A and B are shown apart, each in its own frame.
Chain A
């Protein structure tokens, strides 16, 4: 059977997801006290330059060894109380989820991705009919034609700014001056 099934449309995440989707340790992707841990943080701004306090940021990335299989355990639950239990502190799941705070700020602690120079981001917010994809490039690598295809000012929106030691700043601008490059993937891989 090859006839594609018609996709279910996206709808906005709305303003009231903060009690449902973010979890304890959602941004603590790196195992506890891992010496290679990096911090990636920034703000989300709208087209009026105002911070976005009700966004959800999801991160997906390869493990440091390049593995892309991920692992369960990003959203662990305590079977006794039913509440979020946090991560086990050991497993690298490759996935993170954090809400922006009242200042529009988000932060994750993770390990550098293996084999690629970027973290993948899905951004959800009230007012977005569909979520937005982008990438946090932690460094530039020759041969990365996504970066190479972009004009310098656009490319700059995908490059995290190093704040040594081991910290990177990455702001997301939804619209207007310095608007972040957002991605779509319908031509990648297989339909």
Chain B
């Protein structure tokens, strides 16, 4: 049963420098649901049939090796209390090393790579850990403003234990000079929060003669129905 609802103060949801937000950001405030029985406090689950063992390796989805700098990206997915999100689906998609997506509508004048589709997925382990092997994507232009370039980034999708914890976001690479110029990243107005979207180069994760390692931990926001039992210990 729904208890009560009240409008909440609007937080920044549009970002004028990112032009795509103009006609797509709701003008009205979000309506707060405070129902302890809300369906959104639970969420979908995934299992072994939803992935294959090779899905986490984007360099092994075709007959040949993709061109680019081979990298691994790994980290832990946790909730606001620090509890690991176990057995949940993580999805990754990205441009190829030249900065082009394997998507028909991406007509950037950069080559497609027949050995790279740029989509991966995995389930988190018991510690909430995910891991992908891929190639570092290229930066690419977009028509947001004159000479607009997106910094190299990986798109990620996460599921928590509740639908309220759903997260789609982008991971960036440390030291990229385009980070300071990107309206999409700058749409996150808090500098400390922006920093949480930038992975760390992790030399301990680099494999000699093989790949460079990056570490990126993720914290899912939002309430869920299962925290009470865990806290009751």
> In the complex where A8-B197, A188-B34 touch, is A127 in contact with B224 (Cβ < 8 A)?
no
Q: Is B98 an interface residue (CB 8 A)?
A: no
> In the complex where A11-B197, A82-B55, A149-B5 touch, is A20 in contact with B40 (Cβ < 8 A)?
no
* A-B contact list, 15 entries, CB within 8 Å: A1-B82, A5-B81, A47-B22, A60-B39, A73-B50, A77-B55, A79-B53, A120-B39, A129-B14, A174-B24, A175-B25, A185-B33, A188-B36, A190-B223, A190-B231
Using CB atoms, name the residue of chain B closest to A83: B52
A48 CA to B27 CA, complexed, in Å: 13
Structural contact, B118 and A20, CB atoms closer than 8 A: yes
Size of chain B's interface in residues, with CB distance under 8 A?
95
Structural contact, B2 and A72, CB atoms closer than 8 A: no
Shortest B9–chain A CB gap in Å is 11
Structural contact, A76 and B31, CB atoms closer than 8 A: no
Q: Is B192 an interface residue (CB 8 A)?
A: yes
Q: Is A21 an interface residue (CB 8 A)?
A: yes
Shortest A108–chain B CB gap in Å is 14
Contact for B33 among A4, A6, A82, A146, CB less than 8 A: A146
Which chain A residues lie closer than 8 Å to B40 at the CB level?
Answer: 60, 120, 133, 183, 185, 188
A69 CA to B47 CA, complexed, in Å: 13
Q: A16-B93, A184-B30, A184-B33 are in contact. List 17 more A-B contacts (CB 8 A).
A: A5-B81, A6-B192, A8-B219, A11-B188, A20-B91, A50-B23, A68-B42, A75-B46, A77-B49, A122-B166, A127-B23, A127-B24, A129-B21, A145-B35, A150-B5, A175-B27, A187-B8
Contact residues of A between 81 and 105, Cβ < 8 Å to B: 82, 85, 88, 93-95
Residues of A in contact with B (beta carbons under 8 Å apart): 1-2, 4-21, 46-48, 50, 52, 58, 60-62, 68-79, 82, 85, 88, 93-95, 113, 116, 118, 120, 122, 124-133, 143-150, 174-176, 179-191
- Which A-B residue pairs are the 6 nearest by beta carbons? A72-B47, A127-B20, A20-B93, A95-B44, A127-B24, A7-B221
Q: Mark B176-213, 1 if CB is under 8 A from A, else 0.
A: 00000000110110101110110000000000000000
Shortest A11–chain B CB gap in Å is 4
Shortest B138–chain A CB gap in Å is 14
A75 CA to B225 CA, complexed, in Å: 24
Q: Is B74 an interface residue (CB 8 A)?
A: no
A2 CA to B231 CA, complexed, in Å: 9
Q: Which of A78, A130, A180 has the most CB of B within 10 A?
A: A130
Structural contact, B220 and A15, CB atoms closer than 8 A: no
> In the complex where A5-B82, A19-B103 touch, is A182 in contact with B31 (Cβ < 8 A)?
yes
A47 CA to B25 CA, complexed, in Å: 8
Shortest B43–chain A CB gap in Å is 6
Which chain A residues lie closer than 8 Å to B3 at the CB level?
Answer: 145
Structural contact, A8 and B218, CB atoms closer than 8 A: yes
Structural contact, B163 and A120, CB atoms closer than 8 A: yes
Structural contact, A184 and B2, CB atoms closer than 8 A: no
Which chain A residues lie closer than 8 Å to B155 at the CB level?
Answer: 13-14, 17, 20
Q: Is B32 an interface residue (CB 8 A)?
A: yes
Q: Is B132 an interface residue (CB 8 A)?
A: no
Shortest B216–chain A CB gap in Å is 9
Contact for A20 among B2, B6, B79, B119, CB less than 8 A: B119
Which chain A residues lie closer than 8 Å to B185 at the CB level?
Answer: 11
Shortest A61–chain B CB gap in Å is 7
Using CB atoms, name the residue of chain A closest to B218: A8
Shortest B95–chain A CB gap in Å is 8
Q: Is B110 an interface residue (CB 8 A)?
A: no
